[in-house]
Every structure is written in structure tokens, then in C-alpha cells.
A and B are shown apart, each in its own frame.
Chain A
């Protein structure tokens, strides 16, 4: 703790240091005649922002008009609008990783001004943690949005040197996980399956590599990502908590580029370039691990006989038919494999193919059509000779989405569209594995469902002080055959013993329908140029659920669509926040309060048997959830030191109060969820060391998650049987960790490269992953143990290059 106090002190000390950024200067551009201006009427400056290298549009470039302290940002097509009184201004365009452009303009009539931005070499770049307009956090309409650029992520210390989207997200307020080695993340007290994770519009059902130590987003191909944790625009739906929208890059239209990294246990390579110059580009990025050489060096024979690996591939081809029409084809495949000695193994694979057609229909209308085909499959292997078997499950899906965007200067941005998703649960198949296996095969068909969403969402800037974002989504869900549906004795506990009838429905027969409106509304009131208050409310419906009765998500968890008995989850999210920037946007400060209720949250009966179960509804319960909390965030965007401090107070509870004792948990009382962590505190800091090096660190602390404790035991024959408390009445010890890294740029003069040394868990803290009980040999009663995944500091070294 002494170390962390010192770190905090240093951070606070350095964040008060200010630096002034300098930009390029140019001569004045004149539009119109100053003698012909009409008094009181504004003129509109419009245009597009593109990359000079490949003419790719830049979304989110920040445009500032000095003197007015006013600006805007480019839209998804790189277009921008600024309305301003006739006069002379200095206009600055910024985007992370690009050299800023500064123009003096004299504007007296509507005019078009396009910008071409050039990349800024990393080594010369000042440390600016900014991927968007400097005052966007106070000027945008909705609160609860986290946006980061991959450049920001690369600057933080990383596990095994691999920059990671989801690990970085967990340093932001309101986002946490149940611990190291667990996949997924929890947003504002929601379950992990309540996060819609999109890669180029396609859903990702398991975002974890190495069971959550890394995620499946390759930093070389990720362009940026946005996490909507508070107010989710109506164009997104299908999950009850948040949306993580990850966009990957399209290739360079101008020249061939190569980028990569070599680490101790994994490496990556990305190649991009034109297929037809200025018309068609490609990008291929791949990562693979090779940790078996480490396993072979471990003394433990079981580990020596083990194997672990992952790989992923991203590929994209983008073709510009014209300046207004672009077609993009993307493919992703990620795979993980584990084998532990002769005992068990895993193999899980995500595949995603998507097609996106973007079209600019007019000055104000644009269209985006997306078609996605995805599949997730996991296989669990049991290698024990007589009981050897493989168990396969997964889910496949199709998605079609048509979105129209209307923009009217800087006042209106309207999204209208329709979306259709079909989910096909892959059958669970157990097969004997190997010639000597004595097990029997089993196959359980899984449910299918189809979800439609119709939406309209408008962001309307009423005045400089007021803006509002209002949207309405209507979601419509069909539970489809072919399926066998069981009827249960009315009023009785659902179990195999209370089945009264069995009905079979043919393929595509609509067995059950759910539907409902999902209003989304948020508003911003600016108290001044530097501060605003934002409020939001939104309702979200979720028709697909992750069925997992384990401490943390596992690759073999089932995705289950809503059916006759498993109702959709319906969440209502409320939030209000205060946002303030100071020192010319050098500092961002915010505080948000949120409250969320969820109906039909899925829970499990004690000892639920979820795999290969034809009557899954007999093991599931549905209850009510509530979560609330406060998020505090302070960020320093520029200067010698950059970074942020965040604190979250968060509570998350669930109540399962069925009609029968068997349908209750903890006697029907509210109890904390598995991911209820009241206090979370994160600090990240980045500092430039001389001309070519950079130091980064992050510190994270959180309250231990809830668990059940052993309160007594008894002997059943020769077995000491533990008696546990009610669910989640105790907590594992608190978690904290300090990571550091140093990056040295320009290792070799001829290419753009760097060498990163990082130490994960520098202080060697033995953070508890879980508390469990085992009876030591000869002991009369079980002993409690705290299991830590990392017991000491974990150093790594990675060489990154690009040319």
C-alpha cells in the first residue's frame, strides 16, 4: 500500500504540469466577399477529413474554431459541418496519430474545405491521450460512453506484453470482472452476457483467448472501439447492459505496409496494402502463441505433457466503387486449444464473416448495409481412457442490418434502420473419444430463435446549451421449431417428474413470440463551455442468455435463446452525470450516478446440471436484478504525464423468489451477485522519457467478489461433507495489482520499431481468485484455501515493428 500511495502522489504531482501543444501555421484561406455578408446570418463550412496516404475517411476527427471555443467532429463518413458567423478564424483539425492541421480562414459564405491528414511518427509525438474532439465528453449528448483508440491501449502495461482492448476497458469506471483468468467483463453490475460485443457489426460470443487472460481483438487490426455503458443508441439492441462496438481497420489504399510484434509466448503480423491502387485494399492480421516450449521446461510431468495455444486471423478487403460507394468484406477466425496431460482438453473457435456496403446517397443521407454470418463452437475433451469423450456445443447466427443516417449540419443526426438476427443453437454432442472409450454418445438439440429490431434515433442539438438524443427501438422475437417442448404440471415445481405432456413442433414453426418497445433518451444541458449535466434513460431487451453455472464464464457455457419458459431479460437503465473540462480540455472530470433494474435475470438451482440436459428449464430460475453506483473519473489528456484515475462504487443484487422453496435462492431475499464489487479504484499513468522512451503504469484495486463459505461439515461415511453458507454471503480478499512498462522507440534506425519491457503484477501480490475447501490427507475436516493464479511478478518483453 505504501508503494501505491507513492504512485498516486507522483501522478497527482505531475498532472498539474501543463504543456502547450503547437500546430502548423498557414496563410489565410478566403471564402466569399466580406462586403456581401448578411447581418445575423451564419455561414456553413463543410467538407471531409481523409487520410493523405490512402484517402480513407477519418471518423471522429476534431475540428476547432479558435476564438469561439467551438467545433465539431467528422461523422462516420469523414464529413463535417460547422455553422459560424461570417468572419476570420483559426481552424484546427486533430486526430490521434495524425499531425494536426491548422488553417486561418476568412469565411463570408457557405464553403467547402477538405482536409488530408498525415500520420505523425510515434517517436515525435507528444503523449496525448485523446481519440476524439477535446471537449466531446462534455458536448456529446449521452453520458456513459467510453471511447479509446488503440494507440492509447498500446501505451498501457499489458499482460505478456499484449495490448488488450478488454483489459484496458476494465481500467475505466463501472467495468470489472470476477478475476484473473475469467473471460468477459461486467458493466455497471450487469452479467457478462448482457454485453453486446461487436466486431465490425458481427456478434462475438466469446471474447476470450487463454480463458480471459487476453481478448480476441488483435491490436494491429483494431481501429478503435466504443463502449456504451450508460445510454445505448437505438441502433443497437439485443443485450441488457452495454454495447462494445469494435471497428477493425481497412487496408492502406496507397502502399504496402507491414506491422508486427514478437514476444516470448506469442507473435503477431499484419500486412496491408492496395490490390488496386486507390480502389481496392486488403489487410491481413494474425496472431499465434507458442507456449509449449515453456511447458516442456516445467518439472511437473503433467505440465510437460500438456499443450496450450491460440491463434486468430483478421482479413479484410475493401473496394471503393466510387467516392460514394464502398464495399467491405471481413473475416475473423479465432481458436484456442488446451490440453492438460492425459486428463482433459479444450478447443474453441469463433468464426465471423461480414459484408458491409456503405453508400453516400446525398449530402445528407448515407446508407450502411451489413450482412454477417457467425459461429461459435467449443469442444471439451476428457482423455481418461475408459471415460474418454468429446462434448461439442456452440451457436451459429445470421444477421442483416440496414441503417440510414441523416445529418443536417450540426443540428441533426438521425439513424433509421432495421435489423434481423437468427440464432441457431448447435446441438450438444457427446461422443466416445478413442478406441478404448466405454462411454455412450448423446445428442441434445438446442433451441433456435429469430430477433428483429426496428429503430429510429435522433441526436438533436436544440441550442448551444441543450441537446437531446431520443430513440425508439421495437424488438420482436420468435422462438422457432423444430423442437420438442415439455409441458409441466401447473403450479408444481418444474422437474422431469412433473412433465405432463410433450409436443413436437416442425422446423420454423413459431412456438412463442415476445416483443416490446425499447425507448432510449438522453439529454445534455451545458452549464458553461466547460461543463455539462447529462441524463439518460433506456430500456433494453435481451433474448439470448449465457447459461453458466460456474464461478466464471467458461468456454463450454451454453448460449440459450428465449423459449417457452426462459423469458427475455428486460433492463431499465437510469443515469445522471456531471462533466467538466478544465485548462483548455487538458483535464476531464466526471461523476455519474446510475441505477439499473433487470427483470428475468437467469439464475440456477443449486447443483444445476446444464450440459446435455433436454429439460434445461428444470434447472433454471429467473429473478429480479438491481444495480446502482457512482463513477468518478479524472483524466489528463496532454502534457508530460497523461492518464486517468477512476473510482467506482457499485452494488449489484439479485432476488429469486419463486412460489416454491425449490424455486427460491437464499429464501427469496436479495443477495449480492457473483460480480458485486463495491469499491474499484484504478490509476493509469504515462510519461515520456526523453526523446525515444515512454514509461507507463497502472494500479488497480477492487473489493473481493462474493462467495459462499464453509460454515460446518459432517461425515457421510468416510467423506467429510462441507456445509456452505447461503449463496454469496462472504467475500474473497480484496484485489490489487501494479503493472509497469517501459517502451523504447527506434531500436533500429531504419524502421519504425520499439521494444517494450513490462512487468505485470510488479509487487507480486497473491490476489485470490477463489476460496475453496479440500480435506488434507489424514485430516478430519476440510481446510480452506485461497487460490491465486499469479503468485509473483510476471515480466515480459515484446519487440514491435512496422515498415
Chain B
């Protein structure tokens, strides 16, 4: 809601507002199960992540050793592979994601606790997307008072909503994929392999749409999905994978609540914070808090890339320079496999 900035406005009006970091002295924070995952109609492996909440200062810890399976409305059941980092993989050998399919997630923890999701039915994709980017230079003042030029890539979305037959619920998520060509010493027997890094973009303003809020078959244009600072990740080619998820009403409701929570700015217009209830519950103790959501949503992918040729900003490559001592290279040049989300397997669409 745009009004979330009202307090900021009032504060600026009075010249001298402030925003200071603040932490409550929390006591007795309990650990709860967190489940997140999606089954979509895209082919290939799909993932469910299990973890436990910890303090607000820490990311959830991965939960290992659980038995996880997915069942569809036809009784097909498939056990998920434990990848070892709280990530469980559905290969879609027995259970395949498809529109109008209904799916149930079942989780058994090593301590015997048993959880199930509600049955989730997959809706259909309903909008036609296209994306584009612009490169802009924005001037900002640093904390030291120095004017700095910041070069950014802005990713925009145009989407054509379908004729209104029944409400459609759409969400967009963005993933960036880039390549690092690591430094290769002339003395090395073999150069290190290229790295392809997949990173989900951290977003606060979720892009959610209920189609009935808009005119039928309208085209929504120039939705800013992402502003990305230009850095070394643009040294070769930088992809943005934009996924449109078509959700059922319950899933939309979940994400709408998440949006309300993550868009709070402390103003008088903020809704009071609350706990977002997911769709997973403990079979033996329904009152146990379980967070997260297992969703079945149709997915549509739009891919956009920014070639290095578009970038005017100087980007230091990892190319070997005999004048530079080995210890002075950036760590990502020396060991790009250490970057989170890195793989040496080139995606077939990455060129």
C-alpha cells in the first residue's frame, strides 16, 4: 500500500526524523518447524526445504533426516530425496506437477513428529509476460557526504491479464543467474571450471495481483521488478529468470499476508503484525506452530539477460595478470565454487 510512506513524509516535512536500529530483549524463543516448497508444472526436479526457526538474528537452521513424500489426487506417491542441507528433491518420477492436479505433502521427522499439508490444487497460468531492462545511473550521497554515481540495471515487467472469467491470483519471483570465469594461473595444470551461480533475489515488495482488481484483459506495463547494482556478476552475462506463479486463493492469501508483514514501515497505517498461518500441521498436536507453505502453482518462466556489451561501468574481470600477486585476486575469482548457489554445470539455456 503506498500509504506506508506517510510517516516518512511527515517526518521529512519536519526535517528531522530518524530511524535507528533497535532490538527487543527477547526471552525464551522456541524453535518451530519451517516448511517451504512448491510443486509446479515445470519439468525437472522440484524442491521442498525444511528448517527450524531460531533467534531473529539468525537464518533458520536446516532440518536433516526427515522422510518427505508427496501424494497426488490419484494416489500416486513419491518420496523425496534428502539432499543433505535441509533440501529435499522431488524428481517427478511418480508424481508430476500439472494444472488442476491436487497434492499433499507428508513429513516425518527423525523424532517421530508427523506433519501433513492441506491438499493444494494447482491453478492455471493466466497472464502473458514480457520483460525488459534499462541501465540507469543514480546519484546518491554516501554516509561521508560524498556524491556517488551508482549504475543499476532495472528490470521491468509487462503483463497481459486474461479476460476475466474467474479471479486469478498471480505472483512473480525473480532469480538471477550469472557466470564467473575464474582466474587461471599459467602455471596451473588445468584451469578451474566456469561457475554458474543461481541466486533468488531478496525482495520486500512482493508482486502480487488479484486479476479482478483490474480491468478485464488489460495490459499492465512497466512494473519494476528489480533494481540491481552493477558489479562483478555482470562480467560475462547476467540472466534474470522471472517466474510467474498462478496460485489458488489460499496460497494467494498466504502471500498477501507475507506482503503485509514485509512492507511494514512503522507508520500509523501499518496493520498490527501477526503470525502468518501456513498450511502444514502436526497430526498429533494441531496447536503446534508450523511456519511456511507448501504450494501447488503453475509456473511460467520469462528469461531476460544483460550482456556485458550493454554495461558501460568498469568491471574488473578475473583474467590472470602476471603483475598481480595471487593473493590480491578477489576470492570469487580464485574459488567461485564457494559462492552460495554455485554450480559448474552450465544450464542449457545459458549461452
* A contact set with B: CB distance below 8 Å: 181-182, 210-211, 213, 291, 294-295, 298, 300, 303, 306, 308, 338, 340, 343-344, 346, 380, 382-386, 438-440, 549-554, 604, 606-608, 674, 708-724, 727, 730, 733, 766, 768-775, 777-778, 780-792, 794
Contacts and interface: CB of A to CB of B under 8 A. Distances in A.
B20 A786 contact: yes
A664 B223 CA distance: 39
B204 A338 contact: no
The 5 closest A-B pairs by CB, nearest first: A606-B274, A718-B200, A712-B53, A772-B266, A787-B266
Nearest to A291: B13
A440 B261 CA distance: 26
B33 to A, nearest CB: 10
Contacts, number: 244
Interface of B: 2-3, 5-7, 9-24, 26, 29, 32, 34, 36, 38, 49, 51, 53-60, 173-175, 200-204, 206, 212-215, 218-223, 256-258, 260-262, 264-276, 291-293
A291 B12 CA distance: 12
Contact of B271 (A607, A768, A784, A787): A607
B13 A294 contact: yes
A717 B36 contact: yes
A338 B6 CA distance: 9
Contacts of B268: 181-182, 211, 550-554
Given A182-B268, A551-B272, A344 B5 contact: yes
Contact of B56 (A712, A716, A772, A786): A712
B291 A721 contact: yes
Contacts of B14: 789-790, 794
Contacts of B57: 781
Given A708-B272, A714-B60, A722-B273, 10 more contacts: A383-B2, A386-B223, A551-B269, A712-B60, A715-B60, A721-B292, A733-B22, A771-B266, A775-B202, A784-B56
A580 B60 CA distance: 61
B266 A769 contact: yes
A551 B267 contact: yes
Nearest to A731: B24
A385 B221 CA distance: 9
A769 B36 contact: no
B17 A788 contact: yes
Contacts of B203: 718-719
B49 to A, nearest CB: 8
10 contacts: A343-B5, A554-B268, A712-B56, A718-B174, A719-B203, A722-B262, A775-B262, A780-B59, A792-B16, A794-B16
A714 to B, nearest CB: 4
Given A386-B221, A714-B53, A716-B292, A783 B12 contact: no
- Residue with the highest number of chain B CB atoms closer than 10 Å, among A344, A552, A554: A344
Contact of A721 (B38, B201, B276): B276
A772 B36 contact: no
Contacts of B10: 181, 210-211, 213, 789
A439 B215 contact: yes
Given A711-B56, A721-B261, A775-B262, A790 B13 contact: no
A438 B54 contact: no
A665 to B, nearest CB: 9
B171 to A, nearest CB: 9
A172 to B, nearest CB: 23
Contacts of A181: 7, 10, 268
Contact of B36 (A713, A716, A781): A716
Nearest to A549: B271
A715 B173 CA distance: 14
A438 B215 contact: yes
A380 B36 CA distance: 36
A787 B12 contact: no
A97 to B, nearest CB: 33
Contact of A786 (B2, B19, B202, B223): B19
A714 B222 CA distance: 30
A790 B19 CA distance: 10
A709 B24 contact: yes
Contacts of A792: 15-16
A791 B18 contact: yes
A210 B201 CA distance: 38
A768 B274 contact: no
B291 A785 contact: no
B214 A439 contact: yes
A722 B261 contact: yes
A300 B13 CA distance: 11
Contacts of B265: 772, 774, 787
Contacts of B261: 721-722, 724
B17 A382 contact: no
Contacts of A772: 264-266, 270
A784 B206 CA distance: 20
A720 B219 CA distance: 30
Contact of A438 (B6, B21, B218): B218
Contacts of B222: 385-386
Nearest to A382: B2
Contacts of A308: 9, 13
B12 A298 contact: yes
Contacts of B3: 344, 346, 380, 554
- Residue with the highest number of chain A CB atoms closer than 10 Å, among B32, B56, B175: B56
A306 B9 contact: yes
Contact of B17 (A438, A722, A791): A791
Given A308-B13, A382-B2, A551 B270 contact: yes
- Residue with the highest number of chain B CB atoms closer than 10 Å, among A711, A777, A792: A711
B55 A712 contact: yes
Contacts of A787: 7, 11, 17-19, 265-267
A789 B17 contact: yes
Contact of B34 (A303, A604, A714): A714
Nearest to B57: A781
Nearest to B24: A709
Contacts of A719: 202-204, 206, 258, 262
B269 A550 contact: yes
Contacts of A386: 220-223
Contacts of A300: 12
Contacts of A385: 222
A419 B38 CA distance: 61
B213 A774 contact: no
Given A551-B268, A789-B7, A774 B204 contact: yes
